[in-house]
């Protein structure tokens, strides 16, 4: 019989790692904002904002959605 892990157990195990990574992201965004000029219209910032919106939603599949945001669109002639 497989061992089933509860959501609370996963949260207990992952909380500090998640917290650390979120703080790193927040610090990086703060550094970008404090830099000279603006990166607000940079397409990479648009992707970051889109991923932050995905992270705030429930429903699973967040990793897949983030990967799709950061992936290049399919190019049928990629082998050419």
Domain boundaries, the chain: 7-70
**pLDDT value of position 1:** 65
Q: What does the alpha-carbon distance between residue 41 and residue 31 come to, in Å, rounded to a whole number? A: 16
Spell out a b/e string for 32-66, using b for 16 or more CB atoms within 10 Å of the CB, else e.
Answer: eeeeeeeeeeeeeeeebeebeebeeeeeeeeeebb
pLDDT tens per residue across span 8-67: 999 999 999 999 999 999 999 999 999 999 999 999 999 999 999 999 999 889 999 999
Residue 77 vs residue 28, higher pLDDT: 28
For the chain, give the percent of residues with pLDDT over 70. Answer: 99
């Amino acid at each position: 019989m497989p061992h089933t892990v509860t959501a609370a157990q996963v949260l207990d195990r992952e909380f500090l790692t998640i917290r650390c990574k979120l703080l790193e992201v927040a610090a990086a965004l703060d550094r970008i904002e404090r830099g000279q000029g603006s990166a607000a219209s940079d397409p990479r910032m648009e992707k970051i904002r889109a991923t932050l919106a995905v992270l705030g939603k429930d429903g699973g599949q967040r990793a897949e959605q983030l990967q799709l945001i950061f992936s290049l669109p399919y190019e049928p002639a990629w082998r050419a």
